[in-house]
Chain A
Amino acid sequence: MNDKKPENLKRRGFLLAAGVGSAGAVAVVASGIGKEAAKPLAVVSADDKAGSYRESQHISNYYRTARV
């Protein structure tokens, strides 16, 4: 896979060193993200006419699951 390419390893190493690594304490958030991956907060495909990004179900789900 592309992840094995040297430049991506370098990038990953950089991100980890810069502190953008372990989801750790908030790892539980990721499962929420995964489930709703197809649905962004602010901008969604034109056929979704409900709500706004300020109070979408998605964002409330996100912060519900972000509880640590």
Chain B
Amino acid sequence: MNAVLEPVASAPALTDEDRARAEHYAVLSRLFSSAPDAGFLHRLTALGAHWGNPESALGQAWLTLGELARNADPEAVEEEYTRLFLTIGRPEVMLYGSFYLAGFLMEKPLVELRHDLAELGLGRRLGVTESEDHIAALCDVMRHLIVTGPDATGLARQQFFFNRHIAPWFEAMCAALEGAPEAGFYPHAAQLVRAYFEIERLAFDML
């Protein structure tokens, strides 16, 4: 084949909806990978203005989170993040799939996830201490699969990964976040997670 065309073929053009999907996964990953700082809260406000829409569940979640981010005190949000997710011993809310699927951390679902990641040629970076079933890491994988494989084969790969490693437990995590005591930010972040993943699930079912 024509070698000149190869670079084009290896960088597939994304449709608008795949771009939007990749951006949603990036935002969800950032929400949970570490405490939001002032810059990220500012961007959430802008994204809320863009994606906010009272007529859809996702749009409503964006409106709420955008408004919350606009008025949020970064220090208070950081404190909430630390209290909910980083408490030594037993955090108030777990962000790891194994916990919801098997009842414990580092369980069999994690072994299966590592197997699937190996098949995809993916692995954890050196220095990352969170296990691969952290919600932020799974969002990163999905985003990677979207931007590298928007064709039919890639979509099937996305569908397999989502259905196996995210769909079975995100609702349980969202329920835990929504019920977190004295939390003002993450229960609303959970509504964005729930609304977006529900759309993803339904959309994959249409393949």
Contacts and interface: CB of A to CB of B under 8 A. Distances in A.
Interface of A: 1-3, 5, 7-8, 10-12, 14-27, 29-30, 33-34, 37-46, 48-54, 56, 59, 62-63, 66-68
A32 B88 CA distance: 36
A59 B137 CA distance: 13
A11 to B, nearest CB: 4
B143 interface: yes
A26 B50 contact: yes
A18 B128 contact: no
A49 B50 contact: no
B26 A62 contact: yes
Contacts of B134: 42
Contacts of B196: 20
A47 to B, nearest CB: 10
Given A20-B20, A25-B50, A37 B148 contact: yes
A54 B206 CA distance: 34
B15 interface: yes
A23 B199 CA distance: 16
A25 B23 CA distance: 12
A42 B113 CA distance: 14
A39 B47 CA distance: 24
A3 B147 CA distance: 16
9 contacts: A14-B199, A19-B199, A20-B199, A21-B16, A25-B47, A42-B125, A42-B134, A53-B128, A59-B26
Interface centre among B40, B123, B141, B147 (most CB of A within 10 A): B147
Which 3 A/B pairs are nearest by Cβ-Cβ distance?
A40-B144, A42-B140, A2-B152
Contacts of B203: 11, 14-15, 18, 20
B126 A20 contact: no
Contacts of B199: 14-15, 18-20
Interface string B11-24: 10011110111111
A66 B50 contact: no
Nearest to B17: A15
Interface stretch (B28-36, B76-84, B93-101, B167-175): B28-36
A22 B24 CA distance: 12
Contacts of A45: 121-123
